[in-house]
Amino acid sequence: MPQVTLTVNGQTHTAEVEGRTLLVELLRDKLRMTGTHVGCDTSQCGACVVHVNGESVKSCTTLAVMCNGANISTIEGLAAADGTLHVMQEAFREYHALQCGFCTPGMVMSAIDLVNKHPNGLTEQQIREGLEGNLCRCTGYHNIVKAIAAAAEVMQGKRSEMARAAD
Amino acid sequence: MYDFAYHKPTNLADAAKLLADPDAKAVSGGHTLIPALKHRLNKPSALVDLSGIAEMKGIRREGNAIVIGALTRHVEVANSAEVKAAIPALAYMASHIGDVQVRNRGTIGGSVSNNDPAADYPAAVLGLGATIHTNKRKIAADDFFQGMFTTALAADEILVAVEFPIPEKAGYAKMKNPASRYVMAGVFISKGAGGVRVAVNGAGPCVFRQADMEKALAANWSANAVAGIAQSADGMNSDIHGSAEYRAHLVGVMAKRAMAAAG
């Protein structure tokens, strides 16, 4: 069986996989990191989004063997060791950007990539287009868009702390 | 998904040898092949991962053409200063394929050699009159797309690059499926050294040229020139997302929008 060595959230792992093993299967079933979800398994819903070498990808449509040597970031790697949430996670909480929460890991990972790719700021339209690969069946997206806009301002140094959501 | 052997050659000659096995399949981004494998539509003996082959990478200008290596991902074409300057319609098209994550993995070579009727790239390749470079020969776009999921590529032939002549003007418009963003009906129009070309994707079983619109636009380059031309619904795709008649109607609408974009 092929062997892959990859870095996940800063830790190096080596695992035996089959050719057909998906990246999400390696993460969830072998490495027991179940924060990354499988929703549709057809590359549409984005619940499985992780970062591979700094770019958001759908881990249900990526073979583990093709990630040999890659640097992977997952939702588990975002919060600080003391439990302090990443700004994007905090924004999702503050703005009530989730209901059932199933899509949230993928939403957060896509959102962080989106902010990173737009260092000069994001319009609402850009946020909505940037989320085309992530489906949410609960929220109607409005609060997700607000959360990402608020987190972007903090991540990009335009605010020192997040604007509170209106009551 | 059935299991398969996995190979990652580092040059074209080795890749071609591995693909001489008729049951082996080439993969780069995998965003078409992996979903097909999940449905067990295919049972390859081996996947030959082309992503380590340096000679299939990169975007370069050669004379009056832009040559894009087969491994170039959609996001790279969308963001390329060279493509944006020379063929903005091509960068625009690449920036609207699927979603961010699909564009981060999917490649031009995969899209063109798969020839999915609902893929974006075939319209640009045919609409710009591009030339396909393989490890064996060069193939004109008009000879390349032969039917649904069928191209002129032989089983062990590898698409290495696509050469796009730089047009005077070009525009692309599509109606996308709202859930998956694949093409329901799209039109890519260009005017250049090879005359006017109008390519239609998504609407039929394979990308095709719309001769009536080409003739009208050659005589009068304006959105009004295509306004009166009706696309026949014969042979158009029909499914729960849109009837053949609806798709035929969309071809006219998208042609007008593509002309508005081309200017």
Q: What string of pLDDT tens digits covers the 167 residues of chain A?
A: 899 999 999 999 999 999 999 999 999 999 999 999 999 999 999 999 999 999 999 999 999 999 999 999 999 999 999 999 999 999 999 999 999 999 999 999 999 999 999 999 999 999 999 999 999 999 999 999 999 999 999 999 988 888 888 75
Q: Give Cα A21 to chain centroid, integer Å.
A: 20
Which part of chain B has CATH 3.30.390.50? 169-262
Residue B52 distance to chain A (closest CA, Å): 10
**φ/ψ (deg, to 5) at B73:** -80, 155
pLDDT score at B179: 76
Q: How many CB pairs under 8 A join A and B?
A: 71
A57 touches B: beta carbon within 8 Å: yes
For the four alpha carbons of B241, B247, B249 and B254, in that order, the dihedral sign comes to positive
pLDDT at A33: 98
Q: Which of A44, A62, A110 lies at the smallest CB-CB distance from B105?
A: A62
Residue A160: the pLDDT is 86
Give dist(CA A133, CA B31) in Å, integer. 13
| Predicted local distance difference test score (pLDDT) of residue A167 | 53
How close, in Å, is residue B36 to chain A by CA atoms?
A: 10
Distance CA A107, CA B246 (A): 34
User: What is the nearest CA distance from B35 to chain A, expressed in angstroms?
Assistant: 6
Q: What is the pLDDT of residues B192-217, one digit of tens each?
A: 999 999 999 999 999 999 999 999 99
Looking at domain B169-262, its CATH architecture is 2-Layer Sandwich (3.30)
Residue B205: predicted pLDDT: 97
3-state secondary structure of B50: helix
Task: Please determine, looking at this structure, whether the domain spanning B5-165 carries the CATH number 3.30.465.10.
Answer: yes
At CA B32, angle to CA B30 and CA B38, rounded to 5? Answer: 85
- A138-153 burial code (b ≥16 CB/10 A, e <16): ebebebbbbbbbbbbb
Contact check, Cβ <8 Å, B101/A19: no
Q: What is the mean pLDDT of residues B1-29?
A: 96
- Cβ of residue B1 closer than 8 Å to a chain A Cβ: yes
Complex ipTM? 0.94
Chain A contact present for B23, CB below 8 A: no
DSSP A144: H
**Looking at residue B226, what is its pLDDT?**
94
In sequence order, what DSSP letters do the residues of A58-127 get, joined into one string? EGGGSBGGGGTT-EEE-GGGTS-TT-PPPHHHHHHHHTT--SS-TTHHHHHHHHHHHHHH-TT---HHHH
CA atoms of B11 and B27, how far apart (whole Å): 14
Which letter does DSSP use for residue B2 in this model? -
Contact: A43, B35; criterion CB under 8 Å: yes
A111/chain B closest Cα distance in angstroms: 11
Q: What is the pLDDT of residues B172-196, one digit of tens each?
A: 999 999 877 899 999 999 999 999 9
Contact assessment for residue B27 and residue B44, using Cβ atoms and an 8 Å cutoff = no
Judge whether residue B108 has pLDDT over 80: yes
Q: Which residues of chain B form CATH 3.30.465.10?
A: 5-165
Name residues whose C-beta falls within 8 Å of residue B224's C-beta, 6 or more positions apart in sequence.
Answer: none
Of B4, B37, B102, the CB nearest to A133: B102
- Taking residues B114-128, report their average pLDDT: 97
Phi-psi group of B212: left, alpha or beta (phi > 0 → left; psi -120 to 50 → alpha; rest → beta) = alpha
- Of A20, A41, A55, which has the smallest distance from its Cβ to B4's Cβ? A20
Residue-averaged pLDDT of chain B: 96
Q: How confident is the model at residue B106 (pLDDT cuts 50, 70, 90)?
A: very high
